[in-house]
Structure 1
């Protein structure tokens, strides 16, 4: 078995078609860990066919836990991990298909060792076979849909994330709402630093060229629901660092930081420095609510004193 598709779901009836429509036909199995959906997510997923395997678990606030459970159940040599509201772009699908198809270590259309080294040293490594021993994982860019369009500015693209990796080489730390997978110790390769002639351990992570399409926020209501969930998780993380029940100088500074400094700097960075204004009104709304989320995080943290 070469490729497993792994998805964690909870009440994703209206979205689950995104990953399944785009990937079901060329993966060997689909592992879905469902957090006890009360809609028809499970029924809809099962309707795609026998490749789909459903495992029902609890629905933890730290949703990466179920993503980790999904990849632990995968049997494929390689794992493609998608969210329930994500789809493979046509170019990415073909890119992965070609990578999986080539099972030997080689460079496609390579005519010399010099050309092979040039491709390996480039940022984009999809010219290599997926079974190339030089890589255990791949960064994939992501286009994020917000209200009426994909956000291409404001620091929202290319939004690289590791979503394709060799089974057993990565894990979710399950500590941060915005975390990526991390490589497990031992998933490294030794290389020689030419300047010092010392052997160093480096991660074997390549890049693919085409993006994942993330349909996260087609409506403002859905965005607000996710915004509320994420700020609650970030408030919990903040409480682990700052004791809300004790009035300290750090806590006083935290108020200033979260109510004045972080919102201002975030909006200026997203909307002006990273040209979020080029994304029109959706770009303005996204920059604004990304900025004032710090108010919500602080208020939720403050309420924990009771």
Structure 2
């Protein structure tokens, strides 16, 4: 069954991912859009074989690209699902959304929360507090937007949200080289964000320990950022890998949790230190 949901996919040189992403939603919707930011590989050639509409827009950052898409696409439906090319909609997720639309979604519900199932080196990362991790990627048009952050952006929903059973698979890396290159770039964005601390508070998710899963996650991240540089990565890794049983993910889990929970966070702190040093803020 196809549901009244439009899908937006962001692409840039995604020839290795885009086919499987599109095919995971062909039985789910008839309204698929791809916003490409200048692919030079076979991404557009592959897309020409599918019933999708392609738009082009230069990439500035994730928030800008998502919000540009929401403002400029002429959707057929009231609901929009936002995906990346390395995402896959699972059968369970699609069936759950179908049931919700068949039964009728209450008017006060403006967003649906679904968990990401992170796949790293072919393994599902289940432990270390990494699953379930909820995102509000599906919401009513006009009731959701991407928060104005350089990194770690979530969708800000106006109104109530509802958890959805079933996951969106997230293939976060094709190789360790790609993984570390991306995280090097993202660490720079996060370092600048924390160093400048000049976010427009009206355009970000409010931390709330009693709120929805995204608000709770933001609450704990804010606490993390209050800890001293270079101390907090050790604490974070210890909690994730030992107290939240990250070690149960095996050898590939060790690689993931060390790189994502320690190395990446330590690199952020090192770049914040560098920014402070260069600005004489010590």
Which band: TM-score by shorter chain? 0.7 to 0.9
**Alpha-carbon contact 1:266-1:287 (below 8 Å) kept:** no
Residue 272 in 1 paired to residue 242 in 2? yes
Aligned counterparts of 2:254 and 2:165: Cα–Cα separation in 1: 28
Aligned counterparts of 1:144 and 1:182: Cα–Cα separation in 2: 22
Aligned length: 245
Scaled by the length of structure 2, the TM-score of the pair is: 0.80
Q: Using the TM superposition, give the Cα deviation of residue 166 of structure 1 relative to its aligned residue in structure 2, in angstroms.
A: 0.9
The corresponding residue for 2:41 is 39
Residue 129 in 1 paired to residue 101 in 2? no
- Larger deviation, residues 90-99 vs 225-234: 90-99
**Alignment partner of 2:228 out of 257, 267, 279:** 257
Post-superposition CA distance 1:225-258 (Å, at most 9, x none):
221121111122123139xxxxxxxxxxx9x922
Q: Using the TM superposition, give the Cα deviation of residue 91 of structure 1 relative to its aligned residue in structure 2, in angstroms.
A: 1.1
Aligned counterparts of 1:180 and 1:63: Cα–Cα separation in 2: 10
Q: After TM superposition, where is structure 1 displaced by more than 4 Å over at least 4 residues in a row?
A: none
**Alignment partner of 1:298 out of 248, 265, 269:** 269
Aligned counterparts of 2:179 and 2:117: Cα–Cα separation in 1: 16
**Alpha-carbon contact 1:88-1:212 (below 8 Å) kept:** yes
Aligned counterparts of 1:175 and 1:281: Cα–Cα separation in 2: 33
**Alpha-carbon contact 1:142-1:212 (below 8 Å) kept:** yes
**Alignment partner of 1:16 out of 3, 18, 22:** 18
Residue 282 in 1 paired to residue 222 in 2? no
The corresponding residue for 1:211 is 167
The corresponding residue for 1:142 is 116
Aligned counterparts of 1:43 and 1:240: Cα–Cα separation in 2: 41
1:141–1:294 Cα change, 3 Å: closer
SS of alignment partner, residue 131 of structure 2: coil
1:180–1:34 Cα change, 3 Å: same
- Give RMSD over aligned pairs: 2.2
Aligned counterparts of 1:64 and 1:43: Cα–Cα separation in 2: 26
Q: Using the TM superposition, give the Cα deviation of residue 66 of structure 1 relative to its aligned residue in structure 2, in angstroms.
A: 1.0
Aligned counterparts of 2:269 and 2:237: Cα–Cα separation in 1: 17
- Larger deviation, residues 3-12 vs 71-80: 71-80
Q: Using the TM superposition, give the Cα deviation of residue 143 of structure 1 relative to its aligned residue in structure 2, in angstroms.
A: 0.6
- Tell me, which stretches of 5 or more residues in structure 2 are unaligned? 199-224
Aligned counterparts of 2:139 and 2:12: Cα–Cα separation in 1: 24
The corresponding residue for 1:224 is 180
Post-superposition CA distance 1:250-289 (Å, at most 9, x none):
xxxx9x9222x11111110110011000000122112211
The corresponding residue for 1:236 is 192
SS of alignment partner, residue 208 of structure 1: strand
Residue 181 in 1 paired to residue 155 in 2? yes
The corresponding residue for 2:68 is 69
Q: Using the TM superposition, give the Cα deviation of residue 138 of structure 1 relative to its aligned residue in structure 2, in angstroms.
A: 0.7
**Alpha-carbon contact 1:271-1:283 (below 8 Å) kept:** no
- Larger deviation, residues 233-242 vs 272-281: 233-242
- Larger deviation, residues 87-96 vs 23-32: 23-32
- Tell me, which stretches of 5 or more residues in structure 1 are unaligned? 103-127, 185-202, 243-253
**Alpha-carbon contact 2:139-2:157 (below 8 Å) kept:** no
Scaled by the length of structure 1, the TM-score of the pair is: 0.74
Residue 162 in 1 paired to residue 136 in 2? yes
The corresponding residue for 1:113 is none
Post-superposition CA distance 1:1-35 (Å, at most 9, x none):
93210111111111112321111233131121111
The corresponding residue for 1:118 is none
